[in-house]
Chain A
Amino acid sequence: MKHLLTTEGIDPAQATAILDTAASLKQALEGREVRKLPTLRGRTVITMFYENSTRTRVSFEIAGKWMSADVVNVSSSGSSVSKGESLRDTALTLAAAGADCVIVRHPASGAAHRLAGWLREAGTSVVNAGDGMHEHPTQALLDAATLRERLGDLRDRRIAIVGDVLHSRVARSNVHLLTALGADVTLVAPPTLLPTGVEGWPVTVSHELDPELPGLDAVMLLRVQAERMHGGFFPSAREYSIAYGLSERRLKLLPEHAVVLHPGPMLRGMEIASAVADSPRAAITDQVRNGVHVRMAVLYHLLAHEEETS
């Protein structure tokens, strides 16, 4: 594997290999006083974040450091355009400075694909840490890792993804990965928050949450961003919460074993009731914890493992 840009068309064996590596890394590090593996010593990993994100950036940084890579963070709140320097020039500069891997978060869909093209000659690996409304592959991988911990094999497991699918890169990456791993995915959202052409996706679509709940093995809630609330996608936060919020009443409709996921940050009270978020059914902190191991595994497969798999 040279890059991780998307989970679309991912080889289930490749995905499983990453998830297995993540699980072994987790096991190897558990209870250790010094959480450091020498695997990526001498490798340089640069994170380039063109959007604010503490959670994902820190998770990648810790992942790199626990693997003994040298991790450098470059951040910019504005886009490449408003900064003046083009994304291409920034990428070529970082590659010339010695990056083995660039981890990029960018508001433009496809930014990671473009970067991989520009860095072809330099040989730098690219990890997509979220590009616009397109994809966020490591989020999907950490969600799958968390689900596997709780549910085992995901084949034929029924998983609902609830909320703003239209604008969600998390939803797109999860649809590709979960279906590749054999899960049955249902998207639950009002029609205004579903993408055009969703009928062609390998999923079931529903506009109502309650009837779906009793048959689910997991429910994955998506963030509702503030600008959507004012964009006329739904009438009010209250109505959204009534229709799609995971309340305590709804939690009771789920089977005992069902898992609740949320990529964070959560809007408590609106997307998810506090009592649900803090219940043992919720795996939200597990997701964060697994995020580090999954990202370690991704870096391992990209950088340490490249001779065998490329």
Chain B
Amino acid sequence: MKPLILKGVRPYGEGDPTDVLIRDGVIAAIGSVDDEGARIVDGGGAVLLPGFVDLHTHLREPGREDTETIATGSAAAALGGYTAVFAMANTDPVADNEVVVTHVARRGREVGLVDVHPVGAVTVGLEGVKLAELGTMAKAGVRVFSDDGHCVHDPLIMRRALEYSKALDVVIAQHAEEPRLTVGAQAHEGEQASRLGLQGWPASAEESIVARDCLLARHAGARLHVCHVSTTGTADVLRWAKARGTEVSAEVTPHHLLLTDERLATYDPVNKVNPPLRTAADVEVLRRALAEGVIDCVATDHAPHAVQDKDCEWSAARPGMLGLQTALSIVVETMVRTGLLDWRGVARVMSERPAGIAGLADQGRPIEVGEPANLTLVDPDATWTVRGAEFASIAANTPFEGMELPGVVVATVLRGRVTALGGRIAE
């Protein structure tokens, strides 16, 4: 592989533009660099960040290759600035065994645009009844386990999963939703859902599980990760749990940082997602919690869906929205432009913390000589208009359609190799 020079880039958006030389997948020099045989990418003063890590992606393969494959999802990830993604276990068949997780990891390597880490199911078939073979999957390289889409609602199963995970040095990621409180739920329980006649998904259904799991994790002395935090109350619970030393981490999605249930008035299911879009007050709290570190990181919950599963009546539609190619821009819009995060902060929530939570040794590393060259170059001043049809994903279900957003991914570098450049997948 030819050496690579990123010319005129600003690591973490700080200082004057400088050059970064990458050789053999590692940052070889920063400053005035020279290598005559190197490929040169002109940064034009863009911000250089560690490559993004997404703890929560649905790549849909195996099972729903009509909406996304590991190849198309990897391309979307690279274009979105990601160098590692965690592929959720709710595929068909479910990734609750060594065979499926190994297949997903291998397909990811074959495509080679982003490190694809399979998430293993916590329970067999995501049914919440019987622990899946966590140990066998951990041996096959699985670092994160989740029944995402379903809550591990039985407190005894959750306790056992947390306890068992300790010996494996893995983390259990919980989709916090008390199922008895969300039977038939369609929208955030509040004024808007009441007006629209949509069955409510109460905030307390999330908060009560997060509170319970924080107590269980502390009791078990285990680590817990909370998926897609969506409410003020959950942020409060996390703050409390962290203050008393519970090993809990949490993620928030870009859509929960920007959108509210006001969007539901059209009944267009492109806005249907689980957990549901909440209120403006929740959005404000989530942004601040992310800035303060109460919520550790941003995860996309990238969820491709076929047209027929969205272009229908609200209650028949599947929940979920695309996220990989819009995440950075939403973070710039909601966190950077508001002054809540600087670029160091963006590096923290998009790369360093998620890599740390999952225990990835070669991701989320400092931009320093000798470190692996997993990097993302961002033009902070450019804007672009979202067009779902132009995404690398097969599906096009983006709620941000037509929005003009700030922040453009100029290039993504995976172990020294350019995977995306100027909005195109690098050949």
User: Are A113 and B267 interface neighbours, CB within 8 A?
Assistant: yes
User: Are A109 and B308 interface neighbours, CB within 8 A?
Assistant: no
User: Are A169 and B191 interface neighbours, CB within 8 A?
Assistant: no
Asked if A211 is at the interface of the complex by the 8 Å CB criterion, the answer is no
User: Are B308 and A86 interface neighbours, CB within 8 A?
Assistant: yes
Asked if B32 is at the interface of the complex by the 8 Å CB criterion, the answer is no
In the complex, chain B residues whose CB is within 8 Å of the CB of A169: 197
Could you tell me the distance between the alpha carbons of A111 and B194 in the complex, rounded to whole angstroms?
16
Could you tell me the distance between the alpha carbons of A198 and B316 in the complex, rounded to whole angstroms?
26
What does the 1/0 interface line of B178-198 toward A look like (CB < 8 Å)? 000000001001111111111
Could you tell me the distance between the alpha carbons of A106 and B186 in the complex, rounded to whole angstroms?
16
What does the 1/0 interface line of B157-200 toward A look like (CB < 8 Å)? 00000000000000000000000000000100111111111111
For chain B, the count of residues having a C-beta within 8 Å of the partner chain is 24
Identify which of residues 221-268 in chain B touch chain A, using a CB-to-CB cut-off of 8 Å.
266-268
For A115, the closest partner residue in chain B by CB is: B313
From B186, B197, B311, B316, contact of A131 by CB (8 A): B197
> How distant is B12 from chain A, measured CB to nearest CB, in Å?
43
For A110, the closest partner residue in chain B by CB is: B267
Asked if A114 is at the interface of the complex by the 8 Å CB criterion, the answer is yes
Asked if B315 is at the interface of the complex by the 8 Å CB criterion, the answer is yes
User: Are A114 and B197 interface neighbours, CB within 8 A?
Assistant: no
On whether A109 and B198 interact (CB within 8 A), knowing A114-B267, A196-B193, A197-B190, the answer reads yes
> How distant is A300 from chain B, measured CB to nearest CB, in Å?
27
Asked if B312 is at the interface of the complex by the 8 Å CB criterion, the answer is yes
Asked if B314 is at the interface of the complex by the 8 Å CB criterion, the answer is yes
> How distant is A271 from chain B, measured CB to nearest CB, in Å?
21
For A107, the closest partner residue in chain B by CB is: B315
Identify which of residues 299-328 in chain B touch chain A, using a CB-to-CB cut-off of 8 Å.
308, 311-316
In the complex, chain B residues whose CB is within 8 Å of the CB of A81: 312, 316
User: Are B199 and A111 interface neighbours, CB within 8 A?
Assistant: no
Of the listed stretches A69-77, A132-140, A144-152, A275-283, name the one at the interface; the rest are far from the partner chain.
Answer: A132-140
Could you tell me the distance between the alpha carbons of A157 and B139 in the complex, rounded to whole angstroms?
73
User: Are A113 and B308 interface neighbours, CB within 8 A?
Assistant: no
User: Are B194 and A197 interface neighbours, CB within 8 A?
Assistant: yes
In the complex, chain A residues whose CB is within 8 Å of the CB of B315: 107-109, 132
For A197, the closest partner residue in chain B by CB is: B191
User: Are A79 and B316 interface neighbours, CB within 8 A?
Assistant: yes
For A86, the closest partner residue in chain B by CB is: B312
Asked if A25 is at the interface of the complex by the 8 Å CB criterion, the answer is no
User: Are B312 and A113 interface neighbours, CB within 8 A?
Assistant: no
What does the 1/0 interface line of A82-100 toward B look like (CB < 8 Å)? 0000111000000000000
Could you tell me the distance between the alpha carbons of A51 and B192 in the complex, rounded to whole angstroms?
25
What does the 1/0 interface line of A113-144 toward B look like (CB < 8 Å)? 11001000000000000011111000000000
Could you tell me the distance between the alpha carbons of A44 and B186 in the complex, rounded to whole angstroms?
34
For B193, the closest partner residue in chain A by CB is: A196
Asked if A172 is at the interface of the complex by the 8 Å CB criterion, the answer is yes
In the complex, chain B residues whose CB is within 8 Å of the CB of A274: none
On whether A110 and B313 interact (CB within 8 A), knowing A133-B198, A133-B199, the answer reads yes
Asked if A42 is at the interface of the complex by the 8 Å CB criterion, the answer is no
> How distant is A34 from chain B, measured CB to nearest CB, in Å?
40
From A8, A87, A133, A197, contact of B312 by CB (8 A): A87
On whether A8 and B316 interact (CB within 8 A), knowing A88-B311, A109-B267, A196-B200, the answer reads no
Identify which of residues 191-213 in chain B touch chain A, using a CB-to-CB cut-off of 8 Å.
191-200, 202
> How distant is B401 from chain A, measured CB to nearest CB, in Å?
15
Could you tell me the distance between the alpha carbons of A96 and B354 in the complex, rounded to whole angstroms?
52
On whether A108 and B191 interact (CB within 8 A), knowing A86-B308, A132-B197, A196-B200, the answer reads no
In the complex, chain B residues whose CB is within 8 Å of the CB of A117: 266, 268
> How distant is B329 from chain A, measured CB to nearest CB, in Å?
27
What does the 1/0 interface line of A29-66 toward B look like (CB < 8 Å)? 00000000000000000000000000000000000000
Could you tell me the distance between the alpha carbons of A200 and B199 in the complex, rounded to whole angstroms?
18
Asked if A255 is at the interface of the complex by the 8 Å CB criterion, the answer is no
Could you tell me the distance between the alpha carbons of A198 and B200 in the complex, rounded to whole angstroms?
13
From A114, A196, A198, contact of B313 by CB (8 A): A114
In the complex, chain B residues whose CB is within 8 Å of the CB of A79: 316
Asked if A265 is at the interface of the complex by the 8 Å CB criterion, the answer is no
Could you tell me the distance between the alpha carbons of A198 and B312 in the complex, rounded to whole angstroms?
28
In the complex, chain B residues whose CB is within 8 Å of the CB of A8: 195
What does the 1/0 interface line of A225-258 toward B look like (CB < 8 Å)? 0000000000000000000000000000000000
> How distant is A139 from chain B, measured CB to nearest CB, in Å?
14
User: Are A106 and B313 interface neighbours, CB within 8 A?
Assistant: yes
Further 9 A-B residue pairs, CB within 8 A, beyond A86-B312, A196-B190, A196-B193: A79-B316, A88-B311, A110-B267, A110-B313, A114-B313, A131-B197, A133-B197, A196-B200, A197-B191
10 closest Cβ pairs, A-B complex:
A134-B197, A110-B267, A197-B191, A195-B194, A133-B197, A109-B197, A108-B313, A108-B315, A111-B313, A113-B267
17 examples of A-B residue contacts, CB within 8 angstroms? A8-B195, A79-B316, A88-B311, A88-B312, A108-B316, A109-B267, A109-B314, A110-B198, A114-B313, A117-B268, A132-B315, A134-B197, A135-B197, A172-B195, A196-B189, A196-B194, A197-B192
Could you tell me which A residues sit within 8 Å of B by CB distance? 8, 79-81, 86-88, 106-111, 113-114, 117, 131-135, 169, 172, 195-198, 200
